[in-house]
Amino acid sequence: MICPACGSEMTATTLDGHMGTALTVDICTSCQAIWFDTYESLQLAPASTLKLFSLIGEHAHTPKLPAGRNISCPRCQARLLLTHDRQRDTPFHYWRCDARHGRLITFFNFLREKHFVKPLSPAEIAELRQNIQTVNCSNCGGPIDLVKQSVCPHCGSPVSMLDMKQAEKLVAQLKDAAAPREIDPALPLNLMRARREAEAAFAAMDKNRDWWHEASSNGLVEASVTMIARWLNQRA
C-alpha cells in the first residue's frame, strides 16, 4: 500500500488479534503512521501492542505527519476526515474514511489511544526545566521553550511523556501474553522479576545524560519509547 500521507511504500505487517485471528496493518516508517482497516486497532492482541510499541521505538526519530494536510483513503480515494477522540482522559486524533474503510493514525496518537502517554504536571515540568530548556513536540516536532511554555505553540499539544506505570504493565504483562498456551507455574515469579527490572531501568533514566540529550533533540515520548524498545530487545 502507498502511504496516503507521504506517498511512501507502507510495510504490511501481520499481527495477532483476539481469539487467534490474524490482522494485517500497514505501517509507514517514513512519516510515523499506521493504517488500520475498520476495527483492527480494537482487535489487537496484547502481544501485538507490544510489537507495535517496539517498532515505534525503533523508528521514533523520523519526521512527524503534519496534522492539517489533506489525506485520501487508500481504498476509495475519498478525503479522510480529521477526527478528534478521547481515551479515558487522554485526547488523540486520527484520519478516518467516512465509508468506514479504515483510519490513519500517527505513532504518537496510537500511544495516546492506548493510554501510554500523559501530559506532564506543573511539578514535572518544573523538574524538567532543571535539566533541559527546549524540547521538540512529540506530536508535530516543533520546538517548545520550556522556560516560557508548557504547550506546543505550533499544534497546541501539551508537553507529554510516556506514562511509566503503563510502560511497566506493558513490560511485565504483555510480554507474557502472546498466543494462548498452558499456564506456566513460574509466570508470577517471571512477571515480578520483569517488573523489578523495568522499574530499575526507568528509575535510572533521569540520570542518563544520553537520555536527556535525546529527549531535548527528539522529544520526551520518543526518548522514552526508544529506551524501552532497546531494553525489550536486549531481553527478547
Residues 57 and 102 in one domain: yes
Q: Measuring CA to CA, which residue among 20, 29, 74, 11 is closest to residue 48?
A: 20
**Residue that wins the pLDDT comparison between 224 and 93:** 93
Asked if the model's pLDDT at residue 162 lies above 90, the reply is: no
Where a domain ends, among 84, 113, 142? 113
Residues 88 and 20 in one domain: yes
In-domain check, residue 164: yes
In-domain check, residue 195: yes
pLDDT at 84 (0 to 100): 92
Residues 215 and 184 in one domain: yes
Mean of the per-residue pLDDT values of the chain: 80
In-domain check, residue 81: yes
Asked if the model's pLDDT at residue 232 lies above 70, the reply is: no
Residues 99 and 20 in one domain: yes
Residues 122 and 226 in one domain: yes
In-domain check, residue 4: no
Residues 51 and 96 in one domain: yes
234 pLDDT band (50/70/90 cuts)?
low
In-domain check, residue 3: no
Where a domain ends, among 113, 140, 163? 113
Q: 135 with 146: CB under 8 angstroms? A: yes
Domains of the chain: total: 2
**Sheet bearing 81-87, strands edge to edge:** 11-16, 22-28, 33-37, 102-106, 90-96, 81-87
Residues 122 and 109 in one domain: no
The region of weakest confidence among 6-15, 37-46, 50-59, 206-215 is 206-215
Distance CA 154, CA 156 (A): 6
Distance CA 22, CA 144 (A): 41
Residues 226 and 138 in one domain: yes
Where a domain ends, among 113, 135, 158? 113
Question: What are the tens digits of pLDDT across the range 16-47?
Answer: 888 788 999 999 998 889 999 988 888 888 77
Residues 73 and 124 in one domain: no
Q: 94 with 81: CB under 8 angstroms? A: no
Residues 103 and 131 in one domain: no
- Owning domain of residue 191: 117-234
In-domain check, residue 6: no
Residues 131 and 226 in one domain: yes
Strand bridging mode 33-37 / 134-136: unpaired
